[in-house]
Amino acid sequence: MIAHLGVVVSRLFGRFMPDPFVIAVLLTAVTAALAVGLGDFPRGGGEGVGARCLALLDAWRGGDGLWRFLAFSMEMCLILITGHALAASGPVRVLLSRLASLARGTAGGAWMVCSGACLASLINWGLGLVVGAILAREVGLALRRRGVAAHYPLLVAAGFAGFMVWHGGLSGSAPLSMTSAAGAARVLPAQTLASLSARGHGDGLPLDQTVFAGFNLVATLGLVVIIPLAACVLAPRRREDVITIDEAAPGLTEGESTAGARAEAGAPTPAQRLDRGVAVAVALSLLLAAGVWRQIEARGVVGLGLGEINAAMMALGLLLHGSARAYLSAVDEAARGCGGIIVQFPLYGGILAMMSVSGLDRMIAQGLIEHASARTLPFIVFVLAGVLNMFIPSGGGQWAVQGPIALEAGERLGVDPGLMVMSVAYGDQLTNMLQPFWALPLLVITRIRARDIVGYTAMLMLVAGAWLTAVLLLA
């Protein structure tokens, strides 16, 4: 049944779901049409269709439109790159290979892969993606060496399931963007910032109100326990249902790595010695670590933002790679995954600007208020975030679009802003299991098709969704 579900869901996505960049373009057009037809332009640009179109165009093309998220999109790229590069370092690959050798079958292997992916995703979502992929591949290869017929699609699905916990961890783009007034201003419009300031949050929301809040610790740690157990239970019992690594990923061989510096023939030149030596890597990593430490001294751990997390990940990656050349080789490979972020975030900024100038954001917030109470609003926002994630698969881009609406609705109903931030975060991370956008690095490393894993990830999503629903309704 699960295998059939995977095939059906994969075919539906393949037939009807265009590329996320095309979806962003379509959302831009839909937002513009709704703004012209339904918008309320309180700032003097709404007399006639022509005037509305010009007001929307001016908002869309301006510094608070298309180019609003340039700094934020760079931070998102660095999260992916630094996490990927860290996972590709030699010490991490050796550690994962040794852990993989402990697996004895599909159920135990799935639990190990999923637990490792979840824990790594709490540190950095890019790290979690690559750790989950490498663990799944290494467990599959280790079991093959022992002659164990392990179900490889479930192992890979377990590796991707770690992406259901990332937004409640240390690289969550929504909570980290809110830790300072400057960070929040890069994403939220002026009226939302003014509302937060009026409620005593002018300096941002520290992490003890979001990531380290009691409700998020319960929600996230619960997921870290529940999801691996669910993956373990999904292991096929009958031999005829097992798809081995040779059947699912023909040609996958031992010793493949995700990155590595190319060897150069001949005696090294002085420049090459500098490139390959440890001095540059150690010096920069120590400097980055000192900067992070100064931030912790000034504001504590709860004041860390995206910049500090990226700096810490880069420092650790440089140390583990041991040279500038090796680190840059890993970065070059990781950068291939940044294309979608680079071209889509300007469109998200334009969508937010059109919603703001036309009043669509306020209208949607008012609709939420009319159909929700303080108790049910976080759950409703969570569900809407899950749906929106299917169209805007970037957590940062989704927070930019949905964050102002959620915060305004929460303010009017008296809901804590930290809970509203995490309600959006939970919905975003949950439906990643149906959205193949971020699975691409994992699929490349494991040499498997999305259709082979989506049935399992959908089942794990249902389990995680039930847990998050209970937490939000009781928070």
Q: What is the pLDDT of residues 43-89, one digit of tens each?
A: 555 567 888 888 888 888 877 788 887 887 888 788 878 888 888 88
Identify the CA nearest to 257 among candidates 147, 156, 333.
333
Q: What is the pLDDT of residue 426?
A: 96
Judge contact between 441 and 129, C-beta under 8 A.
yes
H/E element, 159: helix 152-161
Residue 13: the pLDDT is: 56
Q: Does the reported pTM lie above 0.75?
A: yes
Give 325-349 pLDDT, tens digit per residue: 899 988 887 787 677 778 888 888 8
Which DSSP string do the residues of 247-260 spell out, in sequence order? HHSTT--TT--S--
Greater confidence (390 vs 139) lies with 139
CB atoms within 10 A of CB 237: 8
**In this predicted structure, what is the pLDDT of residue 74?**
85
Q: What is the pLDDT of residue 422?
A: 95
Specify the pLDDT at position 5: 56
pLDDT for position 215: 95
Question: What is the rounded distance in angstroms from the CA atom of residue 368 to the CA atom of residue 16?
Answer: 29
From the number of C-beta atoms within 10 Å of its C-beta (0-12, 13-18, 19+), residue 81 rates as: buried
For residue 158, the Cα-to-chain-centroid distance in whole angstroms is: 16
Hey, what are 393's tokens? 């698969």
* Helices within 163-277 (DSSP H only): 173-177, 181-185, 190-198, 214-233, 245-248, 270-276
CA distance 109 to 126: 21
Rounded Cα gap, residues 354 and 393, in angstroms = 20
Can you give the pLDDT at residue 6?
45
Is the confidence at residue 202, as pLDDT, over 50?
A: yes
Find the helix packing angle between 125-145 and 70-87, rounded to 10°: 30
